[in-house]
């Protein structure tokens, strides 16, 4: 082999080793930064700083109601889960379940398809249901309402 070929092979070998060493260095710094605890003065992203906690939930059976559109051929099937502020409220709601279902059944059939198809309409329905249920169960008892099923046909 000539000296020229040896120099080229040695240069390529040094270049390959440099790339490999650089890759290991970058990997090492990434892994070591994951293990370090964050300093007290460092600003944490909001998603990590405040994880939403869900209170006790109270699932309700499905509701099937006719909507108030012309002809009355459209219906809504919805399943609701209530998020409560205190576990003791679930014990209070259990014997009053017929009243809770009645309150919901008085609101749902008065809605039109156009109102419920938009996200804003679903938020308005959630707000209206929460207001009615908090009126029955005590103010602040129902923190949130989750629609676990929402079908309009």
pLDDT tens per residue, range 10-57: 999 999 998 898 888 888 787 777 766 555 555 555 555 566 688 899
Q: Between these two residues, 138 and 96, which has the higher pLDDT value? A: 96
Residue 91: CA count within 13 A, CB half-sphere:
3
Give the rounded percent of residues in the chain with a pLDDT score beyond 70: 88
> Of 55-64, 90-99, 134-143, which gets the smallest average pLDDT?
134-143
Residues 6 or more apart from 109 whose CB is under 8 A from it?
65, 66, 67, 68
pTM: 0.63
């Amino acid at each position: 082999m000539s000296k020229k070929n040896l120099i080229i092979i040695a240069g390529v070998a040094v270049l390959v080793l440099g790339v490999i060493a650089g890759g290991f260095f970058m990997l090492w710094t990434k892994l070591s930064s994951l293990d370090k605890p964050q300093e007290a003065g460092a600003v944490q992203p909001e998603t990590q700083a405040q994880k939403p906690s869900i209170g006790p939930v109270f699932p309700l059976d499905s509701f099937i109601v006719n909507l108030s559109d012309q002809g009355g051929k459209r219906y809504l099937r919805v399943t609701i889960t209530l998020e409560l502020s205190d576990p003791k409220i679930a014990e209070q709601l259990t014997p009053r379940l017929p009243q809770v279902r009645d309150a919901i059944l008085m609101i749902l059939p008065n809605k039109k398809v156009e109102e419920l198809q938009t996200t804003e309409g679903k938020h308005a329905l959630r707000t209206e249901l929460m207001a009615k249920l908090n009126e029955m169960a005590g103010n602040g008892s129902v923190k949130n309402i989750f629609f676990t099923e929402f079908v309009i046909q």
